[in-house]
Structure 1
Amino acid sequence: MDYRTIRVEERDGLCRVTLARPEVMNALSSRMREELLHAVTEAGTRARALVLTGEGRGFCSGQDLGDARALDVPDFERILREEYEPLLRAIAHCPLPTLAAVNGVAAGAGANLALACDVVIAAESASFIQAFTRIGLIPDAGGTWTLPRQIGLARAMGAALFADPISAADAARWGMIYEAVPDAAFEPRWQARAAHLAQGPTQAYRGLKQALRASFDNSFEEQLALEARLQGQCGASADFMEGVTAFLEKRPATFSGR
């Protein structure tokens, strides 16, 4: 695909996707959503880990309101169903570990795009804003599902009703993201974390993602059965054999992703 709004770089098993519309704080246009869907889907077939980040001073300011103003009456239901939902499903069900490296403000759908990833690492100067009520909308892009599960109903309700910026430090303290990192250390930190995932036991990562996400809907007995099935698959992998061999030989494991 001819990418015009994002940049895609692949190296050493890591696919880095950068939102590249810094002049509008990487706002999500229809074109960008199409390109992101393509990039995430393609990465799932080739890479071993995926990173989403933003160019410039922001991660993503959310829906491109210039797109919406071009329509007499924006059909947000169609936009969400046909453009956002496939993208969010592709991220949530990506067979690779996904990491959002949030370099600046993540607002509206941009915040929820980041929160759809498996791990979120943010610069301390970054913030997360459920900005929807500021323009008479409700949180979307999965926000009404993700936030209550991550930070509880009380905080999710306050964040959505007041549309207050939530600092990266508070987001980490509340459990919304994995960690907040001082700005000077941010890029080396997320790059090291991403490299760790890209060099790790890919099949085990796939299985643990499936198990953790399923746990919200499964009974205890169903979860035990799922664990057993997935662990059986992992135990038959080349990475398990390498991990055991490396442990016994007292050396770091070199995983192949198989």
Structure 2
Amino acid sequence: MHKMPRCVLEEVDDIAILKFTRSEKLNAFDFDSWREFSSNVDEASNYKGLIITGEGRAFSSGDDINAMYKFEDYAESKSFFKTLFDVLQKLMHYPHPIIAAVNGLAAGGGAEILLTLDYVVSVKDAWFWFPEARIGLYPPILTSLGVYVFGIKNVKKLAINMPRLTSEEALNLGLVDMIIEDKNKLTEIAVNKVRELNRVPTVSYTSMRKVLASIVLPHLKQSLDTLAETAVEEEAKRSMELFIKSRKK
């Protein structure tokens, strides 16, 4: 049986638009999602910029809990999070501007990935959440790269208290850079922002990204390696199972 794509790559004026298309699962990331994401970022390197957005009412709800619950052992978990790290590494070395066009809810990894991008445009009714602690895990990008953005105290609040942030709260925190009222103009505004950022020479982007990646990526890798271990621990498995059962009621 032919699998439907998890994400697709489109083009507007030599700018790549990567759209998550697993809308029936709120664009949650399973193994195939991360693999497709990775190959699309490779292809997008031939364009003058990259816009990442979602289909339906979600930007992305983060990693697929059902997929993580099915990890049979540490090797499978490690492989999953290595693929995730490879995508983030590619994004952090991308030679042109990367803009997020947040069309709806962004939770878990869907909110965390915004920390790796250059600029975030959000619709007004979007909301943001880091709920991983509910299932015995923790947000790996927030607790590594996020420390540089928000500071340790705010990271703890977001990861442990797990507040749902409105677009205005996300803007004040620094997770979002612009809020727009008209959803229909989301792509247009994101494209214009890429053009604006493209005034910066490519050599400046590549050099800057190289320095920032050298600082951040080791911490991000350590966080993901630890999460790979945590995801197969008995308590985390029980928490995931309870969460999955609660969603079926």
TM-score (norm 2): 0.76
Contact 1:102 1:121 in 2 (8 A): yes
Matched with 1:203 is: 202
- Structure 2, unaligned stretches of length 5 or more? 217-249
SS in 2 for 1:106: strand
Following superposition, the deviation at residue 190 of structure 1 comes to: 2.2
Q: Secondary structure at the match of 2:27?
A: coil
1:156 matched to 2:161 = no
Overall identity of the aligned pairs, in %: 25
**Number of matched pairs:** 212
Report how far residue 211 of structure 1 moved: 7.5
Shift of 1:139: 0.9
What is the aligned partner in structure 1 of residue 11 from structure 2? Answer: 10
Contact preservation (8 Å) 1:97, 1:205:
no
Following superposition, the deviation at residue 179 of structure 1 comes to 1.8
Residues 208-256 of structure 1 show CA distances to partners (whole Å, capped at 9, x for unaligned) of 7437737969xxxxxxxxxxxxxxxxxxxxxxxxxxxxxxxxxxxxxxx
1:181 CA displacement: 2.0
2:25 counterpart residue number: 24
Alpha-carbon distance change, 49 to 202 in structure 1, aligned in 2, over 3 angstroms? farther
Matches within 5 A, 1:217-228: none
Deviation of the 1:43 alpha carbon = 1.2
Q: Which stretch of structure 1 is more off in the superposition, 105-114 or 17-26?
A: 105-114
**Are positions 1:95 and 2:106 aligned together?**
no
- Aligned counterparts of 2:150 and 2:133: Cα–Cα separation in 1: 19
Between the aligned partners of 1:209 and 1:88, the Cα distance in structure 2 is: 16
CA distance in 2, matches of 1:172, 1:153: 18
Shift of 1:35: 0.7
Structure number with larger C-alpha Rg: 1
CA distance in structure 2 between the partners assigned to 1:93 and 1:211 by the alignment? 7
**Higher RCO (CA-CA < 8 Å; seq separation 6+):** 2
The normalised TM-score by structure 1 is: 0.74
2:71–2:77 contact (8 Å) kept in structure 1: no
Matches within 5 A, 1:78-89: 78-80=79-81, 82-89=82-89
TM-superposition CA deviations, 1:31-56 (whole Å, max 9, x none): 11001111111211x10100110000
Q: 1:212 to 1:169 in 2, by over 3 A?
A: farther
Corresponding residue of 2:69? 69
2-side partners of 1:211 and 1:176: how far apart? 22
Aligned-partner Cα distance in 2 for 1:189–1:77: 38
Task: For 2:20 and 2:145, locate their aligned partners in 1 and report how far apart those are by CA, in whole Å.
Answer: 22
Tell me, in whole angstroms, the C-alpha distance in 2 between the residues paired with 1:59 and 1:186. Answer: 12
Q: 1:34 to 1:202 in 2, by over 3 A?
A: farther
Rounded to whole Å, the distance in 2 between the matches of 1:9 and 1:190 is 14
1:138-168 Cα offsets, whole Å, 9 max, x none, are 112x221222211222211100001111122
Segments of 4+ moved more than 4 angstroms: 72-75, 214-217
Q: CA deviation at 1:105?
A: 0.9
RMSD value over aligned CA atoms? 2.5
Residue number in structure 1 paired with 2:118: 118
Q: Which runs of 5+ in 1 are unaligned?
A: 218-258
SS of the counterpart of 1:143?
coil
Amino acid aligned to 2:78: E
Aligned to 2:54: 54
